[in-house]
Structure 1
């Protein structure tokens, strides 16, 4: 499946009962785009006594991820087909995520709120200081560094080097997903993400888009509760809910697509 081009292999582990110790190796094998199926990550759907289902999420390099916004949207649709549940509470390593089926392809999820926030994070690269926002969603948090940057007019080789430098920067002890964005209107952005664990640019990033929206609101660069993000893989929408002018809820909305079913 994919959510705006962010693609995943999904396995019904309620039926398959694969041992967790084997998850990393399976992730590396199946996500290999040359020798396997090919994906940004893999999701094992398991049962859990505290929630409707549990999400075991692994990146393509075999590392375990705290959570993945686009992955949760795909998992919600997958669970609807398997379990016929239009609304779910999904247990992830970053906390419980609530999901809702809007229609056959569109799903809405409640992202975890920020646990760590730095809206004035400055990093020096080749003698230039770049200031962005470091945000972790959930606890333990998914790390993101959001930077307003003209990525569309930057040489691709230099963009890779810059993204890799930021992703591994010592200011980020867990590493970070790098979310470049460019404002194209009052509540619209173009966005490009370099993902930790994939170690490459991906076609979209759900949690990253949520962090971009939070960063823009905190820095008073948007005046609406809605942000529309154009990514290389499609369009994502973030809706913010407020309480006493503070962010209470962050919703991610977007399309999901089933590419194929198969046996491996």
Structure 2
């Protein structure tokens, strides 16, 4: 892995390390430890996740995606937009592309510095039901938008203790054993604001694409918000959730937003020493 080239990219504040692994230089068994080492903030590159691009027999490419704690995730909306732009800039795919994830085949289109990526249709959808959290009843919505999410409506986005309450819901027995991501959502005129406790990062992140989709669909169910739904992330950037009504619910989901290149570099030997210790 010495000399491995990488891009550091950010999608609305969700940041990722992305590298080309089509030559198979990084073995599957080494990926969790590498993700933990490289994503560690202050002592390494630092990121919410690691994305490795690999060859695919059916699509332009497939990805291996790992959270910063080394856990493998089925899907990540903001990472899907970043990896699409990475693939386009590195001539791995054209402006329109498909790639494999554990959640299924993703379609994406690069639109300059922004990317529009299709997500899998939501499953396991339950709108506005009571969830007991340590004796307090919370009115929540839950669904899987590639990964599991809970949406909790709040009157003021600044008030909830995202770390404490988010952790309790993330590990709630109702969502065991896999756990869930937790989104605190304030409905506003013409938009909604979201703060997310992310499973795998185990804390609040500046944005979550699949969480934005879950929040947007909760808004649609509540007051029939029109597509695209405008979502304000914690970073101050916006994501746009496109949807269509389909039999039994909502589908044809697309997530649109920025996919910024922060810097490019080469992984140094000391970072690899950290990886060997993880």
Q: TM-score, normalised by structure 1?
A: 0.92
The answer to whether the 8 Å contact 2:97/2:107 transfers is: yes
* 1:22 equivalenced with 2:30 (yes/no): yes
Greater shift, 33-42 or 15-24, is seen at 15-24
Query: The residue matched to 2:214 in structure 1 has which SS?
Result: helix
The answer to whether the 8 Å contact 1:116/1:137 transfers is: no
Match among 225, 228, 231 for residue 227 of structure 2: 225
C-alpha displacement of 1:115: 2.0
Match among 216, 219, 224 for residue 216 of structure 1: 219
Counterpart Cα distance in 2 of 1:75 and 1:146 = 26
Give the corresponding residue for 1:242: 245
Which structure has more relative contact order (CA 8 Å, sep 6+)? It is 2
* 1:163 equivalenced with 2:171 (yes/no): no
Counterpart Cα distance in 1 of 2:158 and 2:78 = 27
C-alpha displacement of 1:77: 0.3
List, as ranges, runs of 4+ consecutive aligned residues in structure 1 with deviation greater than 6 Å: none
Counterpart Cα distance in 2 of 1:232 and 1:137 = 20
C-alpha displacement of 1:248: 2.7
Query: The residue matched to 1:65 in structure 2 has which SS?
Result: coil
1:3-22 matches, cutoff 5 A: 3-15=11-23, 17-22=25-30
Give the corresponding residue for 1:194: 197
> Deviations for 1:82-134, whole angstroms, at most 9, x for unmatched residues?
1251111110001111000112x100011111121111332223432111111
1:1-264 matches, cutoff 5 A: 1-15=9-23, 17-83=25-91, 84-103=93-112, 105-138=113-146, 142-150=147-155, 152-154=157-159, 158-173=161-176, 174-185=178-189, 187-218=190-221, 220-233=222-235, 234-243=237-246, 246-264=249-267
What 5-or-longer segments of structure 1 have no aligned partner?
none
> Deviations for 1:38-84, whole angstroms, at most 9, x for unmatched residues?
00000000111011110110000000010100000000000001125
The answer to whether the 8 Å contact 1:149/1:180 transfers is: yes
C-alpha displacement of 1:212: 1.1
Query: The residue matched to 2:192 in structure 1 has which SS?
Result: strand
> Deviations for 1:216-236, whole angstroms, at most 9, x for unmatched residues?
222x32331221011122110
C-alpha displacement of 1:245: 7.8
The answer to whether the 8 Å contact 1:203/1:231 transfers is: yes
C-alpha spacing 1:15/1:191, structure 2 compared with 1 (3 Å): same
> Deviations for 1:172-225, whole angstroms, at most 9, x for unmatched residues?
12111111110111x41011001000001000000111111112222x323312
C-alpha displacement of 1:255: 0.5
C-alpha displacement of 1:137: 2.0
C-alpha displacement of 1:241: 1.6
Counterpart Cα distance in 1 of 2:182 and 2:156 = 12
Q: TM-score, normalised by structure 2?
A: 0.88
Counterpart Cα distance in 2 of 1:23 and 1:245 = 39
Root-mean-square deviation (Å): 1.6
